[in-house]
């Protein structure tokens, strides 16, 4: 079955960088849109970034544009999120999500990795 396993979260100081990874299995990773979605403590879901099946197109929320970069390695079935210039507002659980066949929804989610930005 579909499995998505995020890693790379942790505690980081403001202004520093962090890279998240999402290992995918159980489906044809190279043919699916993939996303990062985050959830700040006690808050709702916020879409962060998405990438087309081949990585040629990247899409970002205004809140992270210019600071975060989404990428993928289809040979390794892995999705990445490079996060730079982190601030306290980026503190959240970060989920990796698989795009559905329509490319407009998300039909599978990982369990998330926690990023805490604090001095």
Contacting other proteins (CB under 8 A), which of 45, 53, 74, 116?
Answer: 45
Please identify, using beta-carbon distances, which residue of 26 and 105 lies nearer to other proteins.
105
Full 3-state SS string of the chain: CCEEEEECCEEECCCCCEEEEEEEECCCHHHCCEEEEEECCCCCEEEEEEECCCCCCEEECCCCCCCEEEEEECCCCEEEEEECCCCHHHCEEEEEEEECCCCCCEEEECCCEEEEECC
Min dist. Cβ of residue 47 to other proteins (A): 4
Please identify, using beta-carbon distances, which residue of 56 and 119 lies nearer to other proteins.
56
Min dist. Cβ of residue 46 to other proteins (A): 7
Min dist. Cβ of residue 114 to other proteins (A): 12
Contacting other proteins (CB under 8 A), which of 29, 50, 78, 113?
Answer: 50
The site for other proteins (CB under 8 A) is made up of: 35, 37, 44-47, 50, 59, 61, 95, 97, 100, 102, 104-112
């Amino acid at each position: 079955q579909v499995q998505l396993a995020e890693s790379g979260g942790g505690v980081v100081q403001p202004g520093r960088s962090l890279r998240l990874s999402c290992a995918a299995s159980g489906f044809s990773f190279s043919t699916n849109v993939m996303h990062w979605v985050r959830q700040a403590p006690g808050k709702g879901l916020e879409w962060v970034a998405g990438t087309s099946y081949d990585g040629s197109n990247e899409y970002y929320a205004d809140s992270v544009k210019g600071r975060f970069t989404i990428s993928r390695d289809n040979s390794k079935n892995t999705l990445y999120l490079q996060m730079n210039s982190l601030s306290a507002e980026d503190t959240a659980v970060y989920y990796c999500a698989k795009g559905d066949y329509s490319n407009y929804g998300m039909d599978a989610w990982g369990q998330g990795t926690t990023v805490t930005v604090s001095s």
